């Protein structure tokens, strides 16, 4: 069926069940960012391939709500689908919740699948429903009725990480969580976030593209640890080790029934990471405490041994990237026929040659000129650009290694960049360097650093619509909380930056229809030596990523002596770290592209 035919079919089933409004969020029962095919409802129904968006359908309107990162992409992909772009901004009046309040009549029936709605989101819907006299319909799965050839849930194997990679055994991680529960006088804890579960159990999987995780829920109390997962994903040896450590595996589908029968006084739930479906399964006698998963905070602060492994992953990634950029430079010099898909294929192939490579950490973004102005662009066989003429090529890519997760963005000039492009590139570089050099008190709320990064763009009345930094996991999800560096983000108790956190430094600038620029490295929060004062401890960023930043695109009249010093020192580090692993023309390429300016 086409998107418009799917929409027509959905509306027919809505009428059949007396549903006035249908809502589908970009989520699964684990509130994941990347979804297994079974839960890619938005993409299947609308054709929009961005990573996030909310669908709201009535008999009169079919809307897709997305933020500014996706407006151009959504407008193109929604053409002739019957769905209209709804621009989501920081103004609450632009949300789908506001649309419901303003447009639905009293006694309207609103259908949601509570497996894909977090407790937090459902409470918002409940408030709106009560205020406007709506009815929430929880027991109808309209999508399953419409999506006849829906994919099955994945059944990829679960495996243990190699010995020596993890700082703590899973028994100690579980005990740390138990200690936290005891300090709060809470008896049990339900975890649905699959990256938290993978971290706790020191295991990885392949159920979700780009994220080495496995679909599961985990329950922990003082007496038992229960993992809800498809038993077919485990070999006998791992099951035996779990059993010896008092970890029981029950089938993935048993989670609701288990919670319904659970006899404890209290349970801790992260309302942003657990579905309302699972919370509502708990017996009414159980007192529910809402707070962030302790494991989310534990895993965000990387142990020194984990950061040491990540440095090894960065060296591997840097070697692969040197080979790639050397190839790219030669291909452009000899006018070879290359396109955005070629970029993806080549950069993946060079990474695959590295020891311990598992896969990509997200879909490669290779955008030439106008496509680079789409922050989350992805070339497809049906739509891509050739790399020819003059302009800027933006490449945002990353790898998953046994030792860690990488995420890097570089911009390459193709042909002769214009004066405006060099100016804009230099402004973004100045933003990147400003953040890389910052020193700040430990515990500072991460969003407060964002203005330091953006200052050089703001002085020219320029900006970008995405955050400047996101947390990154240890051989886990490329996007990890709670740290987020964005002035769009709310400040709360868990916004504080702590030693050991890894975050991206990725300011950008995008001119719609023309070109985009983003320069990204990963950095680790490190305690600055000899700075323990009456004002507390101070942190600085250690840049982890090892890859030259293009210097041919810099307008040297705009960069200061101090900024040149930072860039030269960074390039010295890159050259020293990567040179021993390179030879011949690739080594020559590295030396030339890390030359002093």
Q: Which of the residues in the chain have pLDDT under 50?
A: none
- Fold of domain 3-146: Creatine Amidinohydrolase; Chain A, domain 1 (3.40.350)
8 A C-beta contact, residue 537 and residue 526: no
Sheet with 439-441, side-by-side order of all strands: 439-441, 538-543, 521-527, 502-505, 469-471, 480-485
- Fold of domain 301-593: Creatine Amidinohydrolase (3.90.230)
Q: State the Cα angle at 272 between 267 and 277, rounded to 5°.
A: 65
pLDDT value at residue 567: 98
Could you name the CATH architecture of 159-298?
3-Layer(aba) Sandwich (3.40)
Q: Which pTM value belongs to this model?
A: 0.94
Pairwise CA distance, residues 565 & 597, whole Å? 9
8 A C-beta contact, residue 476 and residue 404: no
Same CATH topology for 3-146 and 159-298? yes
| Sequence-ordered list of residues with C-beta below 8 angstroms from that of 257, at least 6 positions apart, any chain | 281
Q: What SS3 state is found at 270?
A: coil
Cα–Cα nearest to 267, from 197, 220, 198, 227: 220
pLDDT value at residue 531: 65
Cα–Cα nearest to 271, from 123, 383, 163, 169: 123
Each residue's pLDDT tens digit, 451-488: 999 999 999 999 998 999 999 999 999 999 999 999 98
pLDDT value at residue 139: 86
DSSP code at position 30:
T
Pairwise CA distance, residues 31 & 48, whole Å? 19
Helical residues (DSSP H) of 157-221, grouped into ranges: 170-183, 194-201
pLDDT value at residue 69: 81
DSSP code at position 401:
E
Each residue's pLDDT tens digit, 528-569: 887 677 888 999 999 999 999 999 999 999 999 999 999 999
Q: State the Cα angle at 101 between 100 and 107, rounded to 5°.
A: 85
Each residue's pLDDT tens digit, 233-257: 999 999 999 999 999 999 999 999 9
Q: What SS3 state is found at 252?
A: helix
8 A C-beta contact, residue 554 and residue 429: yes
Burial classification of residue 165, based on how many CB atoms lie within 10 Å of its CB (0-12 exposed, 13-18 middle, 19 or more buried): middle
pLDDT value at residue 544: 98
List the chain domain ranges.
Answer: 3-146, 159-298, 301-593
């Amino acid at each position: 069926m086409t998107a418009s035919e799917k929409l027509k079919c959905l509306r027919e089933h809505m009428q059949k069940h007396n549903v006035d409004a249908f809502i589908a969020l970009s989520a699964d029962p684990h509130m994941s960012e990347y979804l297994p095919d079974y839960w890619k409802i938005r993409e299947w129904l609308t054709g929009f391939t961005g990573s996030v968006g909310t669908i709201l359908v009535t008999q009169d309107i079919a809307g897709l709500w997305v933020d500014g990162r996706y407006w151009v992409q959504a407008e193109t992909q929604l053409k002739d689908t019957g769905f209209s772009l709804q621009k989501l901004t920081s103004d609450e009046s632009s949300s789908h919740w506001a649309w419901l309040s303003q447009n639905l009549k009293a006694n309207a029936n609103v259908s949601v699948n509570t497996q894909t709605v977090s407790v937090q989101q459902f409470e918002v819907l409940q408030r709106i429903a009560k205020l406007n006299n709506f009815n929430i319909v929880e027991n109808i799965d309209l999508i399953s009725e419409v999506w006849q050839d829906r994919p099955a849930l994945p059944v990829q194997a679960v495996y243990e990480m190699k010995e020596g990679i993890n700082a703590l055994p899973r028994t100690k991680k579980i005990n740390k969580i138990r200690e936290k529960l005891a300090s709060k006088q809470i008896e049990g804890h339900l975890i649905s976030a699959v990256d938290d579960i993978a971290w706790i159990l020191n295991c990885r999987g392949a159920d979700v593209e780009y994220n080495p995780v496995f679909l599961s829920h985990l329950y922990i109390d003082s007496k038992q640890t229960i993992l809800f997962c498809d038993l077919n994903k485990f070999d006998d040896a791992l099951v035996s080790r779990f059993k010896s450590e008092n970890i029981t595996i029950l089938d993935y589908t048993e989670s609701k029934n288990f919670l319904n029968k659970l006899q404890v006084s209290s349970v801790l739930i992260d309302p942003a990471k657990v579905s309302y479906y699972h919370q509502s399964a708990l017996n009414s006698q159980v007192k529910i405490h809402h707070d962030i998963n302790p494991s989310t905070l534990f895993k965000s602060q990387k142990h020194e041994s984990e950061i040491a492994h990540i440095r090894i992953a960065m060296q591997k990634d840097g070697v692969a990237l040197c080979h790639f950029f050397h190839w790219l430079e030669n291909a452009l010099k000899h006018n070879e026929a290359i396109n955005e898909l070629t970029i993806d294929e080549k950069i993946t192939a060079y990474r695959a040659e590295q020891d311990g490579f598992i896969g990509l950490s997200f879909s490669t973004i290779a955008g030439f000129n106008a496509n680079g102005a789409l922050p989350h662009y992805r070339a497809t066989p049906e739509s891509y650009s050739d790399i020819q003429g003059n302009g800027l090529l933006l490449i945002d890519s990353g790898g998953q290694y046994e030792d860690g997760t990488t995420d890097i963005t570089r911009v390459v000039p193709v042909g002769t960049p214009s004066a405006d492009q060099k100016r804009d590139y230099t402004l973004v570089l100045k933003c990147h360097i400003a953040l890389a050099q910052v020193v700040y008190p430990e515990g500072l709320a991460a969003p407060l650093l964002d203005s330091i990064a953006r200052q050089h763009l703001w002085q020219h009345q320029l900006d970008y619509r995405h955050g400047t930094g996101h947390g990154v996991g240890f051989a886990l999800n490329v996007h990890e909380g709670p740290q987020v560096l964005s002035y769009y983000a709310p400040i709360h108790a868990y916004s504080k930056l702590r030693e050991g956190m890894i975050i991206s430094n990725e300011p950008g600038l995008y001119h719609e229809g023309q070109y985009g620029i983003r320069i990204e490295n990963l950095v680790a929060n490190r305690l600055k030596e000899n700075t323990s004062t009456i004002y507390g401890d101070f942190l600085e960023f250690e840049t982890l990523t090892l890859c030259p930043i293009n210097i041919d695109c810099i307008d040297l009249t705009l960069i200061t002596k101090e900024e040149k010093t930072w860039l030269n020192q960074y390039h010295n580090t890159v050259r020293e770290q990567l040179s021993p692993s390179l030879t011949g023309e690739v080594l020559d390429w590295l030396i030339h592209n890390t030359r002093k300016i």
